[in-house]
Amino acid sequence: MIVGVPKESFPGERRVALVPSVLPNLAKAGLEVVVETGAGTEAGYPDAAYTEKGAKVLPSRAEVFSTADIVVQVLCYGSNDKTGKADVPLMRRDQALIGFLRPMGAREVVEEVARTGVTAFAVELMPRSTRAQSMDALSSMATACGYKAVLIAGDVLPRFFPMLTTAAGTITPARVLVIGAGVAGLQAIATAKRLGAVVSAYDLRPAVKEQVQSLGGRFVELAIEAKDAQDARGYARAQDETFYARQRELLGRVVAESDVVITTAVVPGQKAPVLVTAEMVKAMAPGSVIVDLAAERGGNCELTRADETVMVNGVTIIGRINLASTVPYHASQLYARNLTAFLQHLTKKGKIELNLEDEIIRDTLLTRGGEVVQARIREFFKMPTLVAQGKA
């Protein structure tokens, strides 16, 4: 089968779905690769690097779609709400599509993709299991975001991160608070520690305390306990407004004492909880910085504006989205390895084998034969149960 890599079309996107170094492994799995010209250029992978590894470079997006049996993208229509729609007429019933599809985004968009007949796999739905770890693109991208959030904060912060002992006196280290210690949060803690900051972190899932401490962070304990904090898949459960209000009240002091606050708190399929209010921002020292990694989902800070930087009372609030795209070389490398592991899992002797008994395939399979087939997503959108559901 032929795997096609179109150039990413989301404005400002610099990543690419496959990098040249994974092509030999795909060839071993019986998969040929075609790449749209320039697809990898912005990530640091020129056309020649792909041809050297056996790929064919095609001159247009339309040709990649018409040649490929499997199209792989970073941001497919769904997660690409700016230009992704243009791909809809290019999708085919006898074709597979793999990438970020934002399956819990807009129902109309998921249905529009389904109507093309394409067999679409949403990488966001990858189970968080040991078996699927090598295919977990969400974690790869969260790693890039957590790392970059700290660098961006450091760039804006009018202070040093590390403690410095100089002839001109001692500089005290920056105090960094990370709210939400999932994959992005843990990477932010590690990065801020490496830069010499004093790092604290808070998460409503008490299970992460040890992970925070193992990275040298102080775990902030609040006198409040979340109900059923974690679901079976390890994700945080949404809490009621009384909980969030109490949480904000208790977090206020810790936020006020921090020079940098990095927020990453999200709950799958929901608007991000507001954990830092305008009032809490007012209590922060001028020059402090908030990097809100939940900006795209509404933001953890009341003052965040998605993809904008705002300054309130001398506090900079950064709501940049798509941060993984700002580390395109390594973000693409990680993503390409995740996709390669998935493609190796999905195919046998170069052909797709849709084994729906397999959790990895069943969970990620979003649309097929004109329908949205993923049971959890149908339930999420309150769609009627499919007759063949379960067998999908």
**Residues interacting with ligand NAD, by CB under 6 A?**
128-129, 133, 136, 138-139, 142, 179-185, 202-205, 234-236, 247, 264-268, 273, 275
Give me the catalytic one of 136, 203, 259, 292.
136
Whether 133 sits among the annotated catalytic residues: the reply is yes
Angle between helices 183-194 and 137-156 (to 10 degrees): 40
For residue 278, give the 3-state DSSP assignment: helix
- With CA atoms as reference, report the closest residue to 100 among 69, 142, 62, 137: 137
Q: How many CB atoms lie within 10 A of CB 29?
A: 18
In the complex, minimum distance from the CB of residue 64 to ligand NAD, in angstroms, rounded to a whole number: 31
Give me the catalytic one of 9, 21, 139, 389.
139
* Cα dihedral 314, 320, 323, 328 in deg (nearest 10): -100
In the complex, minimum distance from the CB of residue 379 to ligand NAD, in angstroms, rounded to a whole number: 19
The single residue listed with the structure tokens 């796999």 is 121
In the complex, minimum distance from the CB of residue 229 to ligand NAD, in angstroms, rounded to a whole number: 7
Nearer to ligand NAD, 138 or 312 (CB): 138
The single residue listed with the structure tokens 């490496």 is 194
Nearer to ligand NAD, 96 or 183 (CB): 183
Whether 213 sits among the annotated catalytic residues: the reply is no
Give me the catalytic one of 92, 107, 115, 128.
128
Nearer to ligand NAD, 181 or 190 (CB): 181
Nearer to ligand NAD, 36 or 296 (CB): 296
In the complex, minimum distance from the CB of residue 69 to ligand NAD, in angstroms, rounded to a whole number: 28
For residue 351, give the 3-state DSSP assignment: strand
DSSP assignment of 90-133 equals: G--TT-EEEEE--TTS-HHHHHHHHHTT-EEEEGGG---STTTG
- With CA atoms as reference, report the closest residue to 122 among 99, 92, 93, 94: 99
Whether 136 sits among the annotated catalytic residues: the reply is yes
Q: How many CB atoms lie within 10 A of CB 151?
A: 15
- With CA atoms as reference, report the closest residue to 262 among 156, 136, 160: 156
In the complex, minimum distance from the CB of residue 123 to ligand NAD, in angstroms, rounded to a whole number: 13
The single residue listed with the structure tokens 């904060």 is 153
In the complex, minimum distance from the CB of residue 131 to ligand NAD, in angstroms, rounded to a whole number: 9
Give me the catalytic one of 60, 133, 213, 270.
133
Nearer to ligand NAD, 9 or 139 (CB): 139
Nearer to ligand NAD, 113 or 327 (CB): 327
- With CA atoms as reference, report the closest residue to 335 among 103, 18, 40, 12: 18
Compute φ and ψ for 372, nearest 5 degrees: -80, 120
Give me the catalytic one of 235, 237, 244, 344.
235
* Cα dihedral 144, 133, 112, 238 in deg (nearest 10): -80
In the complex, minimum distance from the CB of residue 218 to ligand NAD, in angstroms, rounded to a whole number: 15
Nearer to ligand NAD, 238 or 375 (CB): 238
Catalytic residues: 128, 133, 136, 139, 235
